[in-house]
A and B are shown apart, each in its own frame.
Chain A
Amino acid sequence: MSKKVKFVWTPKKAATAISAYMVGLFFIYPYINMLLTSLKPHGELYATPTTRLPKSWQFNNYLEVWSKAPVGNFLKASIVVSVCATLLVLLVSVPAAYYVARNRFKGRAAFLLLVLATQMFSPTALIIGIFREVKFFGQLDTWPALIVVNAGFNLAFAVWLLSGFFASVPVEIEEAAMVDGCTRFQALRRIVLPVTLPGLVTAVIFTFVSTWNEFTVALTIISSPARQPISTGITTFVGQYDVAWEYLFTTTAIAIVPVVILFISIEKYLVGGLTAGSVK
């Protein structure tokens, strides 16, 4: 439609475009500042007069940081916890979303309301209860505790998003497959899953990124430095007097850039999943 119409610059359109570019720059600027600071030598951090660009570009910071702090450990913890939480969410949400999309059963509305409610509760409000429960199971300072809690709070997004996708696959196609001799599980795997792939990818990326970024639970239940994920691990750099900002920011850059790219790739579906079908 309007996308194919050739764009003609007018003063008004130029003003719109320029203000939009400024808005974009504004929101990305802190991260540009982070990247520039991550490339400065320590001595330039507080130099006067302050400069925005590094005078001597220290790309070496990105090599040295690995030995300055256990960045490798942090990343490993974040990757293990995020991947496992994502798998757990998939394992639990796919059957639930599929069943909810295909069947009207007693308690369906109640189940959906419960799921929706969990999306609204962040672990922060329940943190004391979570801490005591994890302690009760003897799982303080372990990854499994972090994995299960993160999976629980990200379940809602996946269930709502996926049930929408499943509902969009005509039952007839599935039934035809079953007439041709597929079992219900085979029909699900061979017919429905491929069609709902964008939804699955979105659920995977969303869960991964939000577990990756989770802070409060990790801060509360993981105490040993060796098991910290990157979101709490970065606080290692924030010493009392002389913060190693250049290494701090190489680490945050390593942590932020990949998840930003992942998030941008699912832009189209984000709003739908987060607002649970209430906004089109």
Chain B
Amino acid sequence: MSALPWIGPALLLILLVVVWPAVELIRISLTKITSAGVLEGFNGLGNYKLLFENPDLKTIAIRTVIWVLSVVFLTVIISLPLAQLINQNFPGRKFVRWAMIVPWAASVVMTSIIWKWMLELTSGEFNLTLRQLGIQHGQPVDWLRDPRFSFFVLIWVAVFVSIPFTTFVILAGLQSIPHDIVEAAQVDGASAWQVYRGIKFPLLRNSLLIATIINLINVFNSFPIIWALTRGGPGYNTDTTTTFAYKMAFVEYNMGPSTALGVINFGFIMLIVLVYLRVTKATRDQA
């Protein structure tokens, strides 16, 4: 029997929802387009030229690199010990794991809005706690509007929503480590740290790699957190290339350079996806 009736609908859906928009995005980036979306013929690299002439682009690009690297690094570094912790045997472990699933299951926009309230100037949980602990005196800090802090707040919320998924991927990796290897090492007198460093951590390599790559893509694409908390503002002060492309297209109706940036963003993700496909292929072949 031919494969087409079976996989055809899936192919069609992918063509329609993923391939078409990608081709359209690339096509428009090479076309002159008005703010109303009317196409006015081939434009070569004109849109890209406009984009690179934008004085804000460089800062936003640098911020995007900092955003992605710091969120992913913090997420993985915090998730490693958390996965180890919820892999231990203790009463109520199930409930702790359930609690950790909540930020993963809840809508990211809603979680961001909750953090917005928790970071509120006078009544927010965060400043309230700081006051009660005696850490903050006098004028409270406006975490989201103060340019010294707003970007770090965004990083913090992104780390908060990324940790649960990452921790569960690492937990799955920990659970797949055979008991007898660990026990043999313990019998030979290895300390807990030696067992972790010498046996568990190397065996977690694949889980870590997968979690890191998926996080790289998710964090790079992360739109709702920034949109809900600061809209990339004030000005372009907390924009990443993802929110900047969106802002140009749908707020400023500056379609041309926006599609150019969209293509560059897409190309970057494509690159990470290729790495991901290579890595997963390697681990699948091992299995």
- Asked if B35 CB lies within 8 Å of chain A CBs, one says no
**Complex: A110 Cα to B149 Cα, angstroms:** 46
Q: A27-B102, A124-B242 are in contact. List 14 more A-B contacts (CB 8 A).
A: A3-B89, A24-B98, A27-B160, A46-B123, A108-B3, A113-B277, A115-B10, A120-B269, A122-B221, A124-B222, A135-B37, A159-B10, A249-B117, A275-B280
**Complex: A91 Cα to B218 Cα, angstroms:** 27
- CB-based contact B37/A132 at 8 Å: yes
> Which chain B residues have a beta carbon within 8 Å of chain A's beta carbons?
3, 5-7, 9-11, 13-14, 16-18, 20-25, 28, 37, 82, 85-86, 88-93, 95-111, 113-115, 117-118, 122-123, 125, 128, 160, 163-165, 168-169, 171-173, 176, 206-207, 210-211, 214, 217-218, 221-224, 227-228, 242, 245-246, 249-250, 255, 258-259, 262, 265-266, 269, 272-273, 276-277, 279-280, 283-284, 287
What 10 A-B pairs come out closest when comparing CB atoms? A152-B17, A129-B21, A263-B105, A99-B6, A24-B99, A129-B25, A24-B96, A213-B107, A17-B90, A278-B280
Contacts of A116 in B (CB 8 A): 276-277, 280
**Complex: A75 Cα to B206 Cα, angstroms:** 40
Please, what's the 1-or-0 string for A108-148, where 1 marks a CB less than 8 Å from any CB in chain B? 10010111111011101111111111010000000000001
**Complex: A28 Cα to B163 Cα, angstroms:** 13
**Complex: A234 Cα to B227 Cα, angstroms:** 13
Q: A7-B89, A92-B13 in contact; A46/B122 too (CB < 8 A)?
A: yes
- CB-based contact A220/B223 at 8 Å: no
- CB-based contact A27/B100 at 8 Å: yes
Q: A128-B258, A153-B17 in contact; A33/B118 too (CB < 8 A)?
A: yes
Complex interface residues of chain A between 1 and 39 (CB less than 8 A to chain B): 2-3, 7, 13, 16-17, 19-21, 23-25, 27-31, 33-34, 37
Task: For residue B42, give the distance in angstroms from its CB to the closest CB of chain A.
Answer: 17
- CB-based contact B99/A114 at 8 Å: no
**Complex: A120 Cα to B279 Cα, angstroms:** 14
Q: A21-B92, A267-B101, A274-B165 in contact; A50/B17 too (CB < 8 A)?
A: no
Q: A120-B276, A276-B280 in contact; A13/B90 too (CB < 8 A)?
A: yes
Contacts of A248 in B (CB 8 A): 113
Q: A46-B122, A113-B277, A215-B224 in contact; A92/B207 too (CB < 8 A)?
A: no
15 residue pairs bridging A and B, Cβ less than 8 Å apart: A20-B92, A23-B86, A27-B100, A33-B118, A50-B123, A92-B10, A125-B221, A125-B266, A128-B262, A153-B18, A255-B107, A255-B110, A271-B168, A275-B169, A280-B287
Contacts of B223 in A (CB 8 A): 124, 215-216
Q: Which of B25, B169, B171, B272 has most A Cβ within 10 Å?
A: B25
**Complex: A227 Cα to B3 Cα, angstroms:** 38
Contacts of B172 in A (CB 8 A): 271-272, 275, 279-280
Q: Which of A3, A98, A249 contacts B6 (CB 8 A)?
A: A98
- CB-based contact B105/A151 at 8 Å: no
Task: For residue A71, give the distance in angstroms from its CB to the closest CB of chain B.
Answer: 14
Contacts of B108 in A (CB 8 A): 213, 215
Task: For residue A146, give the distance in angstroms from its CB to the closest CB of chain B.
Answer: 11
**Complex: A260 Cα to B168 Cα, angstroms:** 15
Q: How many residues in A have their beta carbons less than 8 Å from beta carbons of B?
A: 101
**Complex: A7 Cα to B79 Cα, angstroms:** 26
Q: A16-B90, A125-B221, A129-B22 in contact; A278/B210 too (CB < 8 A)?
A: yes
- CB-based contact A127/B18 at 8 Å: no
Task: For residue A107, give the distance in angstroms from its CB to the closest CB of chain B.
Answer: 7
Closest A residue to B213 by beta carbon equals A120
Q: Which of B10, B90, B242 contacts A93 (CB 8 A)?
A: B10
**Complex: A277 Cα to B222 Cα, angstroms:** 24
Please, what's the 1-or-0 string for A71-114, where 1 marks a CB less than 8 Å from any CB in chain B? 00000000000000000100111011011100101011001011
- Asked if A212 CB lies within 8 Å of chain B CBs, one says yes
**Complex: A48 Cα to B103 Cα, angstroms:** 30
**Complex: A149 Cα to B206 Cα, angstroms:** 31
**Complex: A232 Cα to B250 Cα, angstroms:** 15
- CB-based contact A271/B169 at 8 Å: yes
Contacts of A113 in B (CB 8 A): 277
Contacts of B169 in A (CB 8 A): 271, 274-275, 279
Q: A7-B90, A279-B210 in contact; A132/B28 too (CB < 8 A)?
A: yes
Contacts of A3 in B (CB 8 A): 89
- CB-based contact A252/B92 at 8 Å: no
Contacts of A21 in B (CB 8 A): 92, 96
- Asked if A262 CB lies within 8 Å of chain B CBs, one says yes
Q: A20-B85, A96-B7 in contact; A27/B164 too (CB < 8 A)?
A: yes
Q: A7-B89, A33-B125, A279-B207 in contact; A95/B9 too (CB < 8 A)?
A: yes
